[in-house]
Amino acid sequence: MKKTIYTVILVLIAIGFYFYETQRNEAASQNILDQEDFQTSQQQDADGFKPLSRKDFLPSSINQVIHHNTYSLSYNETHEQAEWTAHILRESDIKTNNFKRPYFEVDNTVKTGAAHWRNYKKSGYDRGHLVPAGDRTSSKNAYNETFLTSNISPQKHEFNAGVWNRLEQKTRYYAKRYDEIYVITGPVFKGEMDEIGTENVTVPHSFYKIIYRQDESDNGKILAFLMPHKESDQAIYDYVTSVDEIEKETGIDFFSQLSDNIENRLEASNSSKGW
């Protein structure tokens, strides 16, 4: 009888500790976002704009949204990976530091449990970053934060090291050219897809990246890419699409924070003109 009581007490303690840690993580996550938004609201760049904040254009989500120090994500438990990541990329984020690549770590802030990196071992797929490590070379801590398993997705090596890498490099070029951009990245789950590992991590059908920048019109400009998950020698601009098309493919609502007339116009654009 005593053994049963002790077992029940231990279970209750464990449950209580889980909820305590969950609430603490969520509070810390929200505080990171609020602090960033407050700091940017007090500043003004050389063009008279308020610096971008992640809070400005977070996409919709019915899943857990987590705010790390330098990026946010929405974790899709069904597919065991983020359905989107969002980060601000500034010229100051891109340095020539040659940091040693750390080991991947399980993201303990994911309530349902983030997939383990071992799912990728001998799977034939790379641990493909969504927020690239190359976007976070200003400090070792920022760099290491991209090696959480919530920030990776199964990618064919030829895709990851090829056309997708070229897109990531071009994105950094835009950050240097315009000083700061808002970047949203994610996988597309569509049709019959493979799964890897014991946790059945979905291998995405394709990947998207959406880039937003402020401009003198005060309406901003958007450039969106949608790439099939396969090797390609084509120019990245062959994959330019509209945000409307990505919304259709993913079911995610982007840039709802904009006024309807500006949102409709920007999201319908499928041109790289002006970039």
CATH number at residue 75: 3.40.570.10
Mean pLDDT of the chain: 91
Q: Low-confidence residues of the chain, pLDDT below 70?
A: 1-26, 45-47
Query: Other CB atoms closer than 10 Å to residue 35's CB: what's the count?
Result: 11
Is there a domain that residue 275 lies in? no
* Partners of 140 in beta bridges: none
State the residue range of the domain holding 210: 2-268
Is there a domain that residue 274 lies in? no
Residue 44 near residue 58 (C-beta atoms within 8 A): no
Instruction: Quickly tell me which residue has 């969002």 as its tokens.
Output: 86
pLDDT of residue 41: 74
Query: Other CB atoms closer than 10 Å to residue 5's CB: what's the count?
Result: 9
Residue 58 near residue 86 (C-beta atoms within 8 A): yes
> Which residue is catalytic, options 68, 129, 157, 229?
129
Is there a domain that residue 55 lies in? yes
Is there a domain that residue 16 lies in? yes
Is there a domain that residue 163 lies in? yes
> What is the total count of domains within the chain?
1
87 is catalytic: no
Instruction: Quickly tell me which residue has 């209580």 as its tokens.
Output: 16
Is there a domain that residue 145 lies in? yes
Could you tell me the pTM of the whole model? 0.89
Is there a domain that residue 177 lies in? yes
* Percent of the chain at pLDDT exceeding 70: 89
Radius of gyration of the chain (CA): 20
- Helix residue spans in the chain (DSSP H): 2-41, 140-145, 157-160, 163-178, 243-250, 260-268
Is there a domain that residue 273 lies in? no
Tens digit of each residue's pLDDT (9 = 90 or more) over 2-38: 556 655 555 455 444 444 445 556 677 887 898 887 8
pLDDT of residue 14: 43
